[in-house]
Structure 1
Amino acid sequence: MPMLSGIRIIDLTTVIFGPYATQMLADLGAEVIKVETPGTGDISRYLGNGVPDPTMGSIHLTVNRGKRSIALDLKKPENAATLRELIATADVFFHNVRGRAIARLGFDYEGCKALKPDIIYVHGTGFGQDGPYADLQAYDDVIQAATGTTSLLPRVDGNPSPRYFPSLIADKIAGQFGAQAILAALVHKLRTGEGQEVEVPMFECFASFMLTEHLRDAALDPPIGPAGYPRQLDPTRQPFPTSDGHLAIVPYTPESTARLMALLGSADLLETPEYAEAKAKGQHMPIIYSEIARKTPAKTSAEWLAIFAANDIPAMAARDLQDIREDPHFVATGFFRHRTHPDVGTFHEMQPPVKYGAMPPRDLGFAPRVDGDGAIIRAELASDKA
C-alpha cells in the first residue's frame, strides 16, 4: 500500500513551487485534489508544448501527475461552498495565494480551522509574513536575485552582469521544503491529534539552501572573510577537455589528488614549493585544475573514464541535456518510463527517484485535464452529505 494512502490534500497552489511539493506527496500515495481556475486552469499547464491540447503542456505532465482536478471560481458563493466542503474532508490545505487575498475569500487559517479543527494549513509565500516583504509577489527570478544567487556566475567568470541560474531552482527547493513541512505536520498530527498553520516562504527556504556553503566566513561575527565558497567559484573548476568531449573529474581528497596526478604523469607537481605554499593558504585547487585541463586532451573521454574507474577517481562525461534519456544507467534503473497519456499521447515520464522497501513501484496516475475530475468530486461530496 502506498505510504500516504488515505491522506487527502486540497491543493490551491499554482505554477511550480506548490505543485512540485504536492507532486512528491502524490507519488507517495496521497490523494491530491488540484483546485484550478475554470477554463484556463493553472498557468503551469502552459509550460512546455501541449500537443494537441495547450492546457496539457509537457511540464504540467511532470509536476501534476496522479492528481485530480476540480475547477472552482472562488468568487462565486456556490464554488466557495464546494471548497469549504472539500476542506472539511481534508488532512491538508495548501495554497500560495497572498495573505490578504485568501482572507477576503474566507480561507485564511481561522476560517479553515472552523471547517476542520485538525486541518494542516500550509501557506506557500514568497517572503516570510513577519517581514517588510510580506505582501510582495515572488517568482523564481525574483528569489534568485534577492538571495544573491545572481552574483555567483559573475564571481566565477568576471563578467559583472548579474545572471540567473538556468533552472527553476528556487521554486523546486521551496517545493521540497513544502513537502517536508507537510510530512512533519502529518507526523505531529498522528502523535497529538493537532493540526496547525505552516508557513513555507520561498525567500527564506532558498536562502537557507544557497547560503549553506556560500555564506561561509561571512557567517562569523565579525566576518573573517567574504561570502562565497571559493572552491565552487573557482573559474578553473570546469569540465575538463578530452580529445572528443569533456569530463567532470573531482580530486576531492589528498589521496585521490595524489592518485590522479600520478595517472596524469604530474606527481612531481605536488612536491613543488609553489604548490606547497598555495596549499598552506587553501589556494591550491586552481593549480590542480589547470594541470588536469593541460593533460586530459591527450586521450578520449572513454579512455580516461576507464583509467579513472580502475583507480577510484570520481569522473563522468559531461552530457548534453538532449542525451540524458539514453544514459545507460537510467535505462537500467528504469528512471524514464515510456507511457501513453490518453489525451496527450506517448511521453517519457521520470519515476520517483527514492525507492522504499515497504512500497513497491506502482503505476502513477496521469496529470489531469482542467476540471477533469470535477463531476466525480462533486458527486462524492453529495454522496457524503446524503
Structure 2
Amino acid sequence: MAEAIWTIGDVAATGPLAGVRVLDMSSVVMGPLATMMLADMGANVIKVENKGGTHAGDMMRYAGSSPTGDLGPIFMALNRNKKSVTIDGREELGKAQLETLLREADVFFHNVRMAGMARLGLDYESVKAINPNIIYIHCCGYGADGPYGKRQAYDDLVQAASGWADLYAKRSDGPPSYTPSLVADKTVGLFATIATLAAVVHRQRTGEGQFVSVPMFECFTFFNMVENLYGQTFPGDGKFGYTRSINPRRRPYPTKDGFIAIVPYVDRQWARFFEIGGRPGVFEDPRFSTYEERTKHTGDLYAIIEEVAATKTTDEWVELLDKEDIPAMRFNPIEKVPDDPHLKATGFFMDMAAPHIGPYRTLRHPIAFTGSPANQRLAPQSIGAQNSELPSAANDG
C-alpha cells in the first residue's frame, strides 16, 4: 500500500486548469466524470449535494458496497479532487450560499433538468445576473429545440435510441442489446469536458461567459455515427454500419491455449502475418490485396485469421507478432487487467489510503502533461465534508 494519506491542502494543483473554479451540481456518472477530469487537471471543484436523510447527496454514493457507507466504488472512481458541501437551495441560507459560490465561480456545471433549476432560481439568466461572465454548462438529455427536450435520459435509453444497441443485432442477426458498460454516460461526460475547456478558452480570449448545452442523445448519436453512417454518407441506398466493426468475427481469436487480438493493418503486415501463419497465398487473393477490397470482404478475412490464430499458443503469437511489428495484444479477462505488465510499469492502478476511507484503489489520470501534470490531491470526500468552509458557519450539514 502506497504511503499516501490525502487531506485538504496537502498537495497543490499542478494541472493546466489550476485556478479555474468550478461549482458542480452534477450527479451519477456523466457529469461527475466530466468534473473529475477538470479537477484532475487542476480545477478547484466544489461538489454541491442536497441535504436529506440516510441517503442524502449523489445516489452513486450508495451504489455498491463500501466500508464507509457513503463512498461507494463508482462514486470513488468519479469524485476525487472535489470538495463536498451540502446545500438546500430552497432555504434562504442555502440560496445565499449558492449566490456567494456562484459569484466566485468560473464555471457552473450541472445535469439537472432545466425546469428544476429554474424553480431554484438557477437557470442561466438568473445565474448570469449574479455572475455576468459565468460559463454555464448544462448536461441535458436532449436538445431543447426538439420534441424530446423535456424528457429524462439515461444510458440505456440513449443506447437504444441512438442506434447503438442495434449494432449488436446487425452483428449477430439476433436481438438488439446494450453494451455492458455505461458507455453513453461516460462518452458524453467526455464531450462535456471538451465543451467546458473550449468555453474556458473562449472566456480567456474575450472575457465572455456563455451558456453551453451538452445534449446526451445528440452527442452519443454523433459518437456512434462517425463510422456507422457509413453507406448512407453519400446519396444512394448504402447500408448503415461499418462493415469491419459490425462483423460477427471481430473479436479476440482463440489460440491453442487462450485468446489474442490481432490487427494487421497495412499491406506489409497482412502479407507477413499470413506467411508466418503458413498461409502465404492469402494476401494474393483479389478479395484481400487492397484496403478497399479487404473492407468489402471483412468477414472472409476474419475467418481466415481465426483459423491461423488457432495454430499457435498466445505466448508464441505475442512473441512472433511483436518481433514482426504486427499489431497484437494478449486478451485480458477483466480480473487480470490490473496485472497487465504495461499498466504495472506505468503505475496506472494506484493503491492509496485516506483517514476517512482506509485503503483503496484508484486510477492514474491517463493524460500526460509535461509542463503542467494532472495530479491527485484530494480523496473522494464524505458528504458535506467541507460544509465548514461554506459562507456562514450556521450551515450544520
Instruction: Assess if the C-alpha contact under 8 Å between 2:40 and 2:81 holds in 1.
Output: yes
Name the counterpart of 1:324.
337
1:198 aligns with 2:212: yes
User: Which string of whole-angstrom CA distances, capped at 9 and with x for unpartnered residues, describes residues 204-249 of structure 1?
Assistant: 11111111000112132x3340110011111122211111110000
8 Å Cα contact 1:38/1:370 also seen in 2? no
Q: Which position in structure 2 is the counterpart of 1:18?
A: 31
Q: Structure 2 matches for 1:346-385, cutoff 5 A?
A: 346-360=359-373, 362-378=375-391
1:210 and 1:120 map into 2 onto residues whose CA distance is 28
Q: What letter matches 1:286 in structure 2?
A: G
1:40-189 alignment runs, 5 A limit: 40-51=56-67, 53-159=68-174, 161-189=175-203
Q: How does 1:213-252 map to 2 (within 5 A)?
A: 213-220=227-234, 222-252=235-265
Task: Identify if the C-alpha distance between structure 1 residues 132 and 371 changes in structure 2 by more than 3 Å, giving closer, same or farther.
Answer: same
2:3 corresponds to: none
Tell me how large the CA RMSD over aligned residues is: 2.0
1:20 shift after superposition? 0.4
How much has 1:120 moved relative to structure 2? 0.5
Report the CA distance shift for 1:77/1:254 in structure 2 as closer, same or farther (over 3 A): same
DSSP 3-state at the match of 1:348: strand
Q: Is the 8 A contact 2:203 2:209 kept in 1?
A: yes
Question: In the TM superposition, what are the counterparts of 1:239-318 in structure 2 within 5 Å?
Answer: 239-272=252-285, 280=293, 282-318=295-331
Per the TM alignment, residue 154 of structure 1 is displaced from its structure 2 partner at its CA by: 1.2
Q: Alpha-carbon deviation of 1:287?
A: 2.3
Normalising by structure 1, report the TM-score: 0.94
Post-superposition offset of 1:34 = 0.5
CA displacement at 1:276 relative to structure 2: 6.8
What is the CA–CA distance in structure 1 between the aligned matches of 2:237 and 2:171, rounded to whole Å? 21
Contact 1:275 / 1:287 at 8 angstroms: preserved in 2? no
8 A Cα contact 2:41 2:374, kept in partner: no
**What is the CA-CA distance between 1:37 and the residue it aligns to?**
1.3
Larger mean CA deviation between 343-352 and 193-202 belongs to: 343-352
Report sequence identity in percent.
Answer: 41
Could you say if the C-alpha distance between residues 264 and 118 of structure 1 is closer, same or farther in structure 2, counting changes exceeding 3 Å?
Answer: same
- Unpaired runs of 5+ residues, structure 1, are none
CA distance in 1, matches of 2:31, 2:389: 24
Cα shift readout 1:179-216 (whole Å, capped 9, x = no counterpart): 11111111111111111111011111111111100011
CA distance in 2, matches of 1:136, 1:218: 29
How far is the alpha carbon of 1:54 from its aligned partner? 2.6
**Relative contact order: is structure 1 or structure 2 higher (C-alpha 8 Å, sep ≥ 6)?**
2
Corresponding residue SS for 1:94: strand
DSSP-derived class of the 1:35 partner: strand
Query: SS of 1:165's equivalent?
Result: coil
Letter in 2 for 1:141: D
State the Cα distance separating 1:295 from its structure 2 match.
2.3
Alpha carbons of structure 1 residues 282 and 65: separation in structure 2 relative to 1, 3 Å: closer
Structure 1 residue 341, shift from structure 2 partner: 2.5
Distance verdict in 2 for CA 1:47–1:269, change over 3 Å: same
* Secondary structure in structure 2 of the residue aligned to 1:378: coil
SS at match of 2:217: helix
Cα distance in 2 between the residues matched to 1:359 and 1:277:
44
Conservation of the 8 A alpha-carbon contact between 2:288 and 2:294:
no
Distance 1:360 1:278 in 2: 40
Distance 1:293 1:377 in 2: 61
CA distance, structure 2, for counterparts of residue 279 and residue 359 of structure 1: 43
Question: After alignment, is 288-297 or 275-284 more displaced?
Answer: 275-284
Q: Which amino acid aligns with 1:288?
A: L
For 1:242-283, what per-residue CA distance to the aligned partner results, in whole angstroms no more than 9, with x for missing partners?
111100000222221111111101011233467679974843
Secondary structure at the aligned position of 2:109 is classed as: strand
Question: Counterparts of 1:352 and 1:280 in 2: how far apart (Å)?
Answer: 40
Partner amino acid, structure 2, of 1:162? P
